[in-house]
Amino acid sequence: MESNYVYRNITDDLRAAISDGTYAPDELIPSENTLAAQYGTSRVTVRKALHILENEGLIRPKHGKGYFVLSPEYNRFLLDFVDKPASGSSKYLEINVIPAGEALAKRFLTREDTMLVVIRRLLLEDETPAAYDEKFFPYVRGEPLIERELEYEHFPDVFTDKYIPRGIWTKMEIETEKAPQNVALVFGCAPGETLLCVSRTVFSSENSPIGFGRRWYSPAGVLTATSNYSQSERKASEQRGG
């Protein structure tokens, strides 16, 4: 039960005490000095332990006061949206360069004659269509902007390898939408049938839109998400051998 590592004992004890209500939300846990004395260790080691609990979302330090116990976060979910599914395959329907046109020009805040790359794909599970996916992004030769963001395959002509965008982020909207004719055709359902649809807008670190995608799921399609993302994070990184 007892770990060889002092900090491990501290985190385990405090985690249990918080879990069983010994320290309730908004209460203070013992101070760094108290814990250091209690465990016969240095403040540095105590702080290491407390940092871990802070990252787990259990406590938060307040300068000059102490460490407060936090209430559990219940409404944050981790959604795993893979561009290219691990299981199943994908089939390209179209890769093209087109002028933006009115609707997309609005999304990208550019002119209607801006050239966009369009990629349309069919995602398959067990040989049957699972989702119809399309993406648009500005065609800028040599600028690799969103290749990695959307985890495209490699287009050596368009993208360089060295620069990997960081700070890019995506906003996702999940809603129902009536299937356009080409989508309905793929799923073998009636045009106008209501499908699960996920729209994504990719933003640069300066918050300007640099990519847009939409994905329609087959009538049987499901998206899953899990809560306790900090916990699942911790477990995942342990599995990766962090």
Partner DNA sequence: AAGTGGTCTAGACCACTTC
Partner DNA sequence: AAGTGGTCTAGACCACTTT
Q: Which does 42 bind (CB under 5 to 8 A by kind): a second copy, DNA, none?
A: DNA
Site membership for a second copy, residue 239 (CB under 8 A): no
DSSP 73: P
DSSP state of 28: B
Task: Give exposure, 107-132, as e/b (b: 16+ Cβ within 10 Å).
Answer: ebebeeebebbbbbbbbbeeeebbbb
Residue 55 sits in the site that holds DNA (CB under 7 A): no
Residue 41 contact among a second copy, DNA, none, beta carbon within 5 to 8 Å by kind? DNA
Q: Does the CA dihedral 95-99-100-102 come out positive or negative?
A: negative
From the list 31-39, 71-79, 113-121, 126-134, the region that binds a second copy by CB under 8 A is 71-79
Q: Closest CB to DNA among 4 and 207?
A: 4
Report the site for a second copy in 7-46 (rule: CB under 8 A). 18-21, 24-25, 44
Which amino acid, 133?
D
Which span sits near a second copy by CB under 8 A: 34-42, 78-86, 91-99, 102-110? 78-86
Q: With contact defined as beta carbons under 8 Å apart, do 25 and 71 qualify?
A: yes
Neighbour-count burial of 83, counting CB atoms closer than 10 A to its CB (0-12 exposed, 13-18 middle, 19+ buried): middle
CB of residue 28 vs DNA: minimum separation in angstroms?
7
Instruction: Quote the least distance from Cβ 201 to DNA, whole Å.
Output: 35
Tell me if 66 contacts DNA by CB under 7 A.
yes
Please state, as a whole number, how many other Cβ atoms lie within 10 Å of the Cβ of residue 241: 5
Is 156 an interacting residue with respect to a second copy (CB under 8 A)?
A: no
Q: Binds 109, which of DNA, a second copy, none (CB < 5 to 8 A, cut-off by type)?
A: none
Q: List Cα–Cα distances, 25 to 53, 55, 69, 72, 73, in angstroms.
A: 14, 16, 5, 9, 12
Interface positions with a second copy (CB under 8 A): 18-21, 24-25, 44, 51, 55, 58, 60, 71-72, 74-83, 148-151, 162-176, 193-196, 217, 219, 221-229, 231-232, 240, 242
